[in-house]
Amino acid sequence: MSLANKLTVVRIILVPVFMIFLLVKIIPFGELWAALIFVLAAVTDGLDGYYARKMKKVTRFGKFLDTLADKLLISAALISLVALNALNPWVAFIIVSREFAVTGLRLLAAAEGIIIAANPWGKLKTIAQICMVLAIIIEMFIYTAAGKTLWLKTLLTYYPAAEISLVALWSAVILTIISGIYYFYHYKKVIY
């Protein structure tokens, strides 16, 4: 197995670990640990593609595994945040619906021998979704831990957690919709 695929497998393994730290409330500073694990998993997303291209080991299996790992990570984060009442279900629905729709479009295209590659809108969407998840988790951490430590109370007065989360959320939703429209507009011939 190539280094790129190993990194992708690590990302998949980190998904349930991330969920445990986020959802199990008896873990001290669980949200902070979950945020760090999420960042580590997101970093492997960039690294696996970099190493696959650098070592000239881009494979169909690697592309499949990478896409699967991406969807698992974001879906797990969205489901967890909805379960914690930290994210409105309609946001998760929009993001997950777009992922299913574009994946379906790619399957239709592949059946006709057309490869739909990633584009800048899709990459921006992914970055925005990662930033949204992190902003919400950090906001949760600050508000749940603020009563426990004085430095967090002080941080809360200077860090506009709710505002940053709101901007990150709307950025992710808007870029998710735009990137979905982009794919369907440019590959409408696949559907008709």
Contact at 8 Å (CB) between 109 and 190?
yes
* Domains by residue range for the chain, with CATH: 3-191 (1.20.120.1760)
C-alpha to C-alpha distance for 45 and 99, rounded to whole angstroms: 17
C-alpha to C-alpha distance for 46 and 68, rounded to whole angstroms: 14
What is the 3-state secondary structure of the chain?
CCHHHHHHHHHHHHHHHHHHHHHCCCCCCHHHHHHHHHHHHHHHHHHHHHHHHHCCCCCHHHHHHHHHHHHHHHHHHHHHHHHCCCCCHHHHHHHHHHHHHHHHHHHHHHHCCCCCCCCHHHHHHHHHHHHHHHHHHHHHHHHHHCCCCHHHHHHHHHCCHHHHHHHHHHHHHHHHHHHHHHHHHHCHHHHC
Q: At 71, phi and psi to the nearest 5?
A: -65, -40
Closest CA to 48 of 68, 32, 18, 34: 68
Rounded mean pLDDT, 124-144: 92
Closest CA to 133 of 29, 11, 19: 19
7-52 per-position pLDDT tens digit: 888 899 999 999 999 999 888 888 999 999 999 999 988 877 776 6
Q: What is the pLDDT of residue 3?
A: 79
Query: What's the length of the chain?
Result: 192
72-125 per-position pLDDT tens digit: 999 999 999 999 999 999 999 999 999 999 988 988 888 888 887 778 898 899
C-alpha to C-alpha distance for 77 and 16, rounded to whole angstroms: 10
Q: Give this prediction's pTM.
A: 0.88
- Among 9-18, 140-149, 177-186, the minimum mean pLDDT is found in 140-149
C-alpha to C-alpha distance for 52 and 47, rounded to whole angstroms: 8
